[in-house]
Amino acid sequence: MDTFRNLHQPGKPFILANAWDAGSARLMAAMGAKAIATTSAGHAFTLGRPDMGHVSRSEALDHAADLIAATPLPVSGDLENGYGHDTETVAETIRLAGERGLAGACIEDTALPDITPYPFAASVERIEATVSAAKSLDNDFVLVARADGWMNRQYDFEEALRRAKAYEQAGADAIYIPLLKDMEMVREVCREISIPVNVLCTGKLITHTMEDFASAGVARISLGSMTARVVHKAIADMSREMFSDGSFSLLGEAASGASIDELLIQGGR
């Protein structure tokens, strides 16, 4: 099995499969995923909560440990803003993540649960602290720095690139600017950044292929909360049909229990 770090090859992207529980992790492992990631939104949904700052650090790390135990694949953590504003707290989050067996993690530059980004200098200091913490671990931990102010419409694309470059200089192993609008924007990020770039496959980007992402120079394709939201849409459609229309036809689209059982067994091997 490739190490998690070795999967990150610009121009040879892999899909980082975001799972929200042990079962979804095993299903995606059985279907060919090379690595698993938590999704803060998907996990929050399972707890009946909204995304962005409504899950505690202990809950997130316990959840990550469940996914680590579910499959033999490496697992990366969506650890939001590191569950604290100061550098020591976010550094401690990375140390705890490594100790729990995570192969890597993303850290955002947003002062959750508020969507306001941390000031530029403070954001860089936070990444410097997490890089130092990651290097202190016994395992080879892949630290990904996220410029989330672009996704949250708190700063423009130029500022997102400025921050991404600063995070690269601070020692991050990879860069992630969620919600890039189109493939031209993806190509620009990959041209401007010399370390691996993670891209969220959403919006217009879902119309592109792995070959398109490869030619743009992408190293990693995240699914984010998209996988969980596909499932939640199916639940909503089925429930609407039953409870509003009194019809049950969508139940006919269910997979067989035997096929799911087999995939769960296969994904845990």
Query: What's the Rg (C-alpha) of the chain?
Result: 18
pLDDT at 2: 64
DSSP label at residue 201: -
The pLDDT tens digits of the residues spanning 240-265 come to 999 999 999 999 999 999 999 999 99
**Are the CB atoms for 190 and 218 separated by under 8 Å?**
yes
Q: Which helix (H) or strand (E) holds 164?
A: helix 157-169
Both tokens of 30, joined, read 């059985």
Measured distance CA(195)–CA(264) in Å, rounded: 35
Sequence spans of domains, the chain = 5-228
In the numeric block, which tokens belong to residue 124? 């860089």
Which one of 3.90.1150.10, 3.20.20.60, 3.40.50.300, 3.40.50.2300 gives the CATH number of domain 5-228? 3.20.20.60
Neighbours of 252 (CB within 10 A): 6
pLDDT tens readout for residues 64-88: 999 999 999 999 999 999 999 999 9
**Other CB atoms closer than 10 Å to residue 37's CB: what's the count?**
30
**Location of structure tokens 């705890």:** 96
Sheet strands (E) in 70-163? 75-78, 104-107, 142-146
User: Could you give the CA distance from residue 176 to residue 160 in angstroms, rounded to a whole number?
Assistant: 10
What rounded mean pLDDT belongs to the chain?
96
Q: What percent of the chain has pLDDT over 90?
A: 97
State residue 200's pLDDT score: 98
